[in-house]
Each structure stands twice: as structure tokens, then as C-alpha cells.
Structure 1
Amino acid sequence: MATHPAPPRRDRLPRVPADQRRAEILAAALEVFGSRGYHKGGLTEIAERVGITHQGVLHHFGSKEQLLVEVLAYRDALDVQEYENQQPPYGPDLLRHLVDTARRNTQRKGLVQSYAVLSAESVTEGHPAQGSFRDRFTQLRELTADALRASCPVDAMPSDKEIDAAASSILALMDGLQVQWLLDPDKVDMPYAVGLVIDALLERVGSPSRIDNDL
């Protein structure tokens, strides 16, 4: 009786640990959503970048909406890694950190683009990232306002309205500069501009502190 050779045995690829796979998916999703936006960024493209299937992405995150929420948390975690002891600095040190962040952002265009695209999209009705960005801005305003208060003399403390407006202005400046820089990086010096405006606002609210911005 004729015999047929057995088909060659396929060696199984080593199984990637779940935590590692999730991290790979988050990094790929951050790139895809950042370059194409949430609505145009597809799970299939994200899956292909990681080397898995569309269903493989859903296995780890359940839905595209949940993936976006976790992508935003992942991006924030990258920022937290820059803090000493994983805690944000306080007072003038936080304001200097904002300048340092603007400086570091000039070396990570993809991350800046992801933030700019997703934050702009989040204002549309029903966008799954709207709550995440609202909470993020609330926290950043509070941290920045506290930093400004800590930089002011106790006996000449500005009103809450003035401090809150200054904090909102700093965050608006940083976000607006990022868009300008993405469009024309050779014409926009983000860290210089952020330091310049923070110093002007510190002077406006009566603080003797100044940012060392190598002016």
C-alpha cells in the first residue's frame, strides 16, 4: 500500500504574554488614531501592526471605544513616567515642568499629533473620549492653578478668578502651540514661548518666581 509522507510539522510561535500584547496594541493604536483620527483609524490596521487579527484586538479590549479610553490612559501614563517618584511636581517646579514638557514634545512628534487629533475630535457630540479629555483638563487646570498660588506671596494672593484664568491660559497656549508646531515646526519654538508666557503671567499675578528658560 502506498504511503504518503507526513506534512512538515509547523513549529508554534511562542505565545506573547497578555500584558505585553496589550502594550503592543496600545502603542499601535496610539499611532493609528493619531495619524487617522478615531473614526477613520481601523482596528484591522492596528491588528496588522501588531501581527494579530481584528478579533485579537477585541479579545484584549472588548470594543473600539474601550480601546480608545485605554489609549488615552496609556498616553497619560507615558507623561507620568517623567515625574520624579511618579508624582507631579508642585509650585514653580510644576511650571518649569510644563516648559520641559514642551521641550520634550519637540522630540516626539507622533505623540503630540495623537494628542492634537484626539483632543480636537473629542469636542464632537457622543465622542467616546470626551469625558476623558474633560477630566484631564480639569485636573491640569487644578494642578496649574495650585502651582501659581504656591508661587505667589501669601500677603498678596490674587483672586481665584485671576489664578484660574491664568491656569487656563497656560494650558490653552500649550495646546495651541502644539498645533502650530505640527504645521510649521521650524517657525515655532514651543519651550521658549511657553516659558515666556508663564513668566508674563507670574509677573501679572504678583509672583517673584520666574522660569529659567535660557532666554
Structure 2
Amino acid sequence: MDTDSPAGRARGPYAKSAERRRQIVDEAYRMFSTRGYQASSLREIAGAAGISLSNLQHHFASKEELLLAVLERRDETPAAETAAADTAENADENAAVPFDAAMVARAAANERIPGLIALYSVLSAEGVTDGHPGREFFLRRYDSLRAGYTAEFEEVRRQGRLRSGVDPAMAAASVVALWEGIQLQWLYAPDRIHAADALRAYLDLVIVSADDEGADA
């Protein structure tokens, strides 16, 4: 449905409610990123959004529920646009950014939001327990990441750039594990560990550079 058309655009109370939820998530995103999850309260987030606590709780019954909305927003927005801009800064604006370059750029951009990366790391670990409110979110997210990266590696293979013997599905699972693991190490030692460098090194092992004359597809 075209929600930008006069007929499809949301109007009235529904549009106001959706806009209010977005405003609350924006403020929570900002506060969780800068102050941390534990140090932020629903009352403070409500105040920053210019609404009452009861109004906020009408949209999000608990801080955990709000945090899950923040995590979903994180996947939609944060470093993706910045990473794409950084990667394409000196490139032909009409040229598509290779997925591996975009991935490395996003990992570098993630260093600008350490608070949210720390929150994500904690919740993804906690989410393995039965009954955790984030369990379904992370199950869906990991399934989606593996499927998406598998498709990207299969496309790289179709282009003749995937090194021989590399299985796209295994490469996808490996890059997800590496990315999340190296980000955790970076949180402990940001002066010595850089996620983008580690990702680039791994991708260079499995993907043949376009400039590599010795390609072994």
C-alpha cells in the first residue's frame, strides 16, 4: 500500500499515535545510547518527549518493551545511512556499494554508538533464556541476518568472487558471529580492537578483490 498517497496516508488518531510512539522511541534511543539502559527511567524519557508517564505507558507498558522497540529502530536506521555515505563519499554516486564494503563501513560507524552496542550485546546474551522478552526478537534477527548474508555471498559466488571451497551459508553464520564477538571485545578494549578491521580481514579471506588477478573463484 502506498502510504504516501492521499488515500493511503495515515490520518487522525492512528497517525498521531504512530507519531507519538516514534517520538518516544527516538527519545529512548538517545537516552539509552548516551546514559545507558539502567540509568534511564521511563519518567525521564517521558519528560524528554514532553508527555506524562501514564501517556508513555499507554504506548509502552514497560522499559523492556520500549528497549525492544529501540533495538528494532537500531536495525532500521543508525549507522546504515552514515556507513553508506562514508563508503560512497569518493565513489560514483550511481555505483552500487558492494555489500562487504557496506558491512565494514557500518561496523566502523557503530563505534559512534557504544552505549547501544553494549545494550545490544547484553540483551542478545540474556535473550537465550526462556521467557525473556527479547528472545523472539533475536531469533528473528539472527534468522534474517543469516538468510540475508547467505544471499549476498551467493551473489558474490555468482560473480566469480567467492573463493573456492567457501560455503555461502557458513560464511554468513561466521560473519555474524565474528561481527558480534569482535564488537564485544571492542567494548572492552576500544583502543586495541576495531571491529571494522577484523571484518575486513575475514572478508578478504573469503572474497576475491576485484583487483586481484589471482582470483580463485
- 2:36 is the counterpart of 1:35: yes
Give every structure 1 segment of 4 or more consecutive aligned residues whose post-TM-superposition deviation is greater than 6 Å: 154-160
* CA drift at 1:143: 1.2
Alignment partners' CA distance in 2, 1:23 and 1:154: 40
Higher relative contact order, structure no. (Cα contacts within 8 Å, ≥ 6 residues apart): 1
* CA drift at 1:136: 1.0
Q: Name 2:8's counterpart in structure 1.
A: none
1:178-189 paired onto structure 2 within 5 Å = 178-189=183-194
Once the two structures are superposed, residues 58-111 of structure 1 have per-residue CA deviations (whole angstroms, 9 ceiling, x without a partner) of 122344454333222222221486287xxxxxx981121110111111222233
Alignment partners' CA distance in 2, 1:114 and 1:129: 12
Larger Rg: 1
* CA drift at 1:131: 0.8
Alignment partners' CA distance in 2, 1:211 and 1:72: 37
Alignment partners' CA distance in 2, 1:52 and 1:131: 30
- 2:203 is the counterpart of 1:198: yes
* CA drift at 1:211: 9.8
- 2:163 is the counterpart of 1:164: no
Q: Is the 8 A contact 1:28 1:46 kept in 2?
A: yes
- 2:113 is the counterpart of 1:112: no
TM-score norm. by structure 2 comes to 0.68
Alpha-carbon spacing, 1:92–1:142, altered in 2? closer, same or farther (3 Å): farther
Q: Name 1:70's counterpart in structure 2.
A: 69
Once the two structures are superposed, residues 94-148 of structure 1 have per-residue CA deviations (whole angstroms, 9 ceiling, x without a partner) of 1211101111112222332232232222222211111111111111111111111
Q: Is the 8 A contact 2:79 2:109 kept in 1?
A: no
1:54-93 paired onto structure 2 within 5 Å = 54-79=53-78, 82=81, 93=98
Alpha-carbon spacing, 1:23–1:29, altered in 2? closer, same or farther (3 Å): same
Count of aligned residue pairs for this structure pair: 182
Percentage identity across paired residues of the two chains: 32
TM-score norm. by structure 1 comes to 0.68
Letter in 2 for 1:178: Q
Q: Any unmatched runs of 5+ in structure 2?
A: 1-15, 85-95, 213-217
Aligned-partner SS, 1:118: helix
Letter in 2 for 1:196: A
Letter in 2 for 1:111: L
Alignment partners' CA distance in 2, 1:158 and 1:136: 29
